[in-house]
Structure 1
Amino acid sequence: MKDILIITNYFPPETGAASNRIYHLAEGLQKHNFVVTVVTPLPNYPKGEVFKAYRGQFKHTSTENDITIHRLWLYASNSKNKLLRLFAMLSYSFSLIWFFMWNKIPKKVIIQSPPLLVAFTSVFFLRSKKRKVILNVSDLWPLAGLELGAFKKNFSYKLLEKIERFNYKHADLILGQSQEILSHVNSIFPKKETFLYRNYPDFDAALPNLQTDSSMKLKMVYAGLLGVAQGILKLCQELDYTKVQFHIYGAGAEQIAIQELIKKHPELDIIYHGEISRTALHQELINYDFTIIPLLNRIYGSVPSKIFEYARLGIPMLYFGGGEGEYLINKHELGWVAESSNYKDLNTVISKIELSKLELTNRKKIQLTALENFDFNNQLIQLVEVI
């Protein structure tokens, strides 16, 4: 049995791709004879408030499925105020330092990045010739922040770039969720050991059974974070509803604005369903004709995990985000692609969707593609060999 520590900002009972990704990694390593410990903040995402069951605690330790989980204090906030958000990240970093001082740290450590400052704190204090530091990079910060408009190329941005480089330099192995991430890392440190570790799902899915009704509008669904990066509010405003009815599941910063838009413009064929559990969501998603995966702007290095999850469910996808995700949709014939940020092209693509591409035979083909190409356990076996 080998000990391994995973340091992450997100973990269940929080929802979303980030927490699911780390949970499945921890569970998978545990099944491969690792003694897994997870260090994470008290649950607070996405609302920026510590969950009721954990309030008033400085540290909460539990064992779940033979995984030891230490949840540490932080100042929870999802405020738009940059200083408050910075303090929230620093508060978790301070808790991590306290944890490192009073606990024995295993010889192998996986550190989730971003957040960049949390990863920096972990790499800085845990780098050692006797310890293997593994950096799991899911998005390229600060570059992604620059492309989203959250940063400008000023002193702060240059400082974050130096922190990013420090993290890469002192990591013994870097895991990246996309080839673009690994290319970026190797452009800075050509000899750095890297491993492509995509966010493949780990769940059993029933065979799809939907039969599309040609007499009605196509039912398009989005499920996930209603944040600025996804651009769902703008999508609602720009869609041509002649052929499509738009269903939305999720929560986030744009939720209230989306609900207000629906209320003020009942002529728009939009139905908001709120937020439901992942298991319940899977049961709902298979009832729709196709799903849309949008990004407001193309983000270098980003590959939405929804691609792999929806393929496992056998759901045709309309990808609207550019980059490597677009390449995967085309390569594996998982659906359609519209030019990033071009809403005219998006509406044209929707208007040309053929019913034959939505029916049962094609859905089973998509699901078979996922089983052959996006297998979590096969990927995990390869990862275990390199860590």
Structure 2
Amino acid sequence: MNILYIHQYFNTYADGGSSRSYYLAKALVENGHRVEVISSHNQKKYKKSEIEGITVHYLPVYYDNRLGFSGRVYAFLKFVLKSYLLAIKMKQVDICYATSTPLTVGIIACLLKRFRHIPFYFEVRDLWPQAPIEMGVIKNKYLIKALFALENYIYTQADKIVALSPGIAQAVVTKVKDMAKVHMVPNMADCDFFEFDEESIWYGSPEKRTGKFTIAYFGAVGQVNYLESYLEVARFFQEKNLTNVEFLMIGKGSQWQYLQNKARQQGVTAMQFVPHTSKYELREILKRVDAVYISFAQLPVLETNSPNKFFDSLAAGKLCIVNTTGWIQTCIEQAGCGFYAAPDNPGQVYRKLLPYMASKQKLAKAKTAARLLAEKQFSREKLSWYFSSLFSPVAGRQANLQEPVVVGEETN
């Protein structure tokens, strides 16, 4: 089967960031499909690359999450136009797989279905436009109405919909009224890539050992991530004179410089800021990390998130600290690999973390539980197989009866 995979932000290990589309495209290739990806990059010219059997078309569409609202909209629409003009030149396309965000990627798939009769699957990574509305980014009532209409149209036109969390799947089902159309495939844990030796289980591997308990945040550093809470935790620990604890913030985004300035102003020296890295470099850093901090703004829509950093943390076998409620909180608490602490209460992080800092056995048990959760529920191998089966009519029907069971599905 010839599959056109559309993702505006396709990343490999060398790029860093979310590797989901790389995982899924590679799984399709390994199952005998021909895959062409349309993506973008911040270069001035079009580039075509062959990556492990995947043909990737990089369109020159500049994007940075520091762009304002109008700049982002311009980038989204420019990608829609350039992608469609490229796609209509492709002679053999059996099916299109379009992944958000942004939601506008779905427009390309709808146009291809309308004018070239190409069926498409749509992947919902975030509930958009609900997320930017709750964030206060989109306020115009007419624009909100138009975006919800676009969302409903894309969902209606899609032949199948892939949701990244139980909450997202439930929200989509309420709109399409067809449970059989919706498949839940969360982000995945690359257990082979994050295979560490036993020396890494306590205060990092020997060559990286600092003698300090290390906590890290890695990923996007934007308004939606609410990393002021993480900075407050570091400040609280520093004020308690816990010099044996260090904090890392690894990433990039619109709040990157703001948080560095705030740390400097408050005299927070326990926090180290590490620029965005490749996944290979991140893996080396995680070898000496004991716990990860997963942070989001306190909005209902963000409780449905399926953050890539969470699954990487599980695969790496790390104690997980979350500051938002929802299915991720339920996952780690039921598995015994972490805990929830309110974002406005750094003292709660302190109290809940102390037992893990005091006991090598307790920390090791949590790390082992994280890894087991990755292997049993979210392994790349298992979820890639299920995803690939959706592209076979017979296997797809069978797989729908064996939907991946995820710990702590939404109940509210």
Query: Aligning the two structures, in what range does the TM-score lie when normalised by the shorter sequence?
Result: 0.7 to 0.9
- After superposition, the Cα gap between the structure-2 partners of 1:343 and 1:165, relative to the gap in structure 1 and judged at 3 Å, is farther
Partner of 1:224: 219
Normalising to structure 2: TM-score of the pair?
0.82
8 Å CA contact retained: 2:220, 2:252: yes
Report matched runs for 1:323-334 at 5 Å.
Answer: 323-334=326-337
Give the gaps of 5 or more residues in structure 1.
44-49
Q: 1:344: how far off?
A: 5.1
Taking a change above 3 Å as real, the CA distance of residues 380 and 76 of structure 1, as seen in their structure-2 partners, is closer
Alpha-carbon shift at residue 216 of structure 1 (Å): 7.0
- The CA deviation at 1:11 is 1.3
Quote the sequence identity (%).
21
Give the drift of 1:267: 4.7
Is the 1:208–1:363 Cα contact (8 Å) retained in structure 2?
A: no
The structure-2 alpha-carbon separation of the partners of 1:199 and 1:236, relative to structure 1 and needing over 3 Å to count, comes to same
Distance 1:181 1:351 in 2: 34
SS in 2 for 1:229: helix
Counterpart mapping for 1:256-271 below 5 A: 256-271=257-272
The residue that corresponds to 2:228 in the other structure is 233
Contact 2:357/2:363 (8 A) holds in 1: no
So what's the TM-score if we normalise by structure 1? 0.87
Tell me how far 1:66 sits from its aligned partner: 1.5
Unmatched runs of 5 consecutive residues or more in structure 2: 205-209, 392-412
Secondary structure class of the residue paired with 2:39? strand
Work out whether 1:317 is the aligned partner of 2:320: yes
1:106 to 1:358, Cα distance in 2 relative to 1, 3 A: farther
Separation (CA, whole Å) in 2 of partners of 1:346 and 1:128? 55
Of residues 369, 386, 389, the one that matches 1:385 is: 389
Q: Check whether the contact 2:132–2:138 (CA below 8 A) recurs between aligned residues.
A: yes
| 1:234-383 correspondence to structure 2 within 5 Å | 234-237=229-232, 239=234, 240-241=236-237, 242=240, 243=242, 244-298=245-299, 299-339=302-342, 342-343=345-346, 345-351=348-354, 353=356, 355-356=358-359, 359-383=363-387
Q: Deviations over 1:221-260 (max 9, x none)?
A: 1111211111223431454112443222122212212222
User: CA offset at residue 349 of structure 1?
Assistant: 3.0
- Higher mean alpha-carbon deviation, 136-145 vs 323-332, is at 323-332
Whether 2:58 is the aligned partner of 1:71: answer yes
Amino acid at match of 2:248: H
Residues 5, 105 of structure 1: 8 Å contact kept: no
Query: Cα 1:362–1:11, aligned 2, differ >3 Å: closer, same or farther?
Result: same
2:183 alignment partner, one of 186, 191, 195: 195
What is the one-letter code of the residue matched to 2:83? L
CA contact (8 A) 1:320 1:346 kept: no
Confirm or deny that 1:5 pairs with 2:4.
yes
Aligned twin of 1:88: 75
For the aligned residue pairs, the C-alpha RMSD in angstroms reads 2.5
* Deviation of the 1:104 alpha carbon: 2.1
> Of 86, 103, 106, which aligns to 1:99?
86
SS in 1 for 2:56: strand
State the structure with bigger RCO (CA 8 A, min sep 6), 1 or 2: 2
> Is the deviation greater in 336-345 or in 320-329?
336-345
Distance 1:164 1:361 in 2: 43
Aligned equivalents of 1:254, 1:358: Cα separation in 2? 34
Q: Secondary structure at the match of 1:308?
A: helix
Counterpart of 1:9 in structure 2: which amino acid? Q
Residue type matched to 2:32 in 1? Answer: N
1:181-233 per-position Cα deviation (integer Å, ceiling 9, x unaligned): 110011111215111111103343123423249x9763211111211111223
- The 8 Å contact of residues 318 and 366 in structure 2, kept in 1 or not, is answered as no
In 1, the alpha carbon distance for the partners of 2:60 and 2:257 equals 29
Match of 2:197 among 197, 202, 207: 207
Instruction: Write the distance in 1 (CA, Å) between the matches of 2:374 and 2:153.
Output: 36
- Which has the larger share of helix? 2
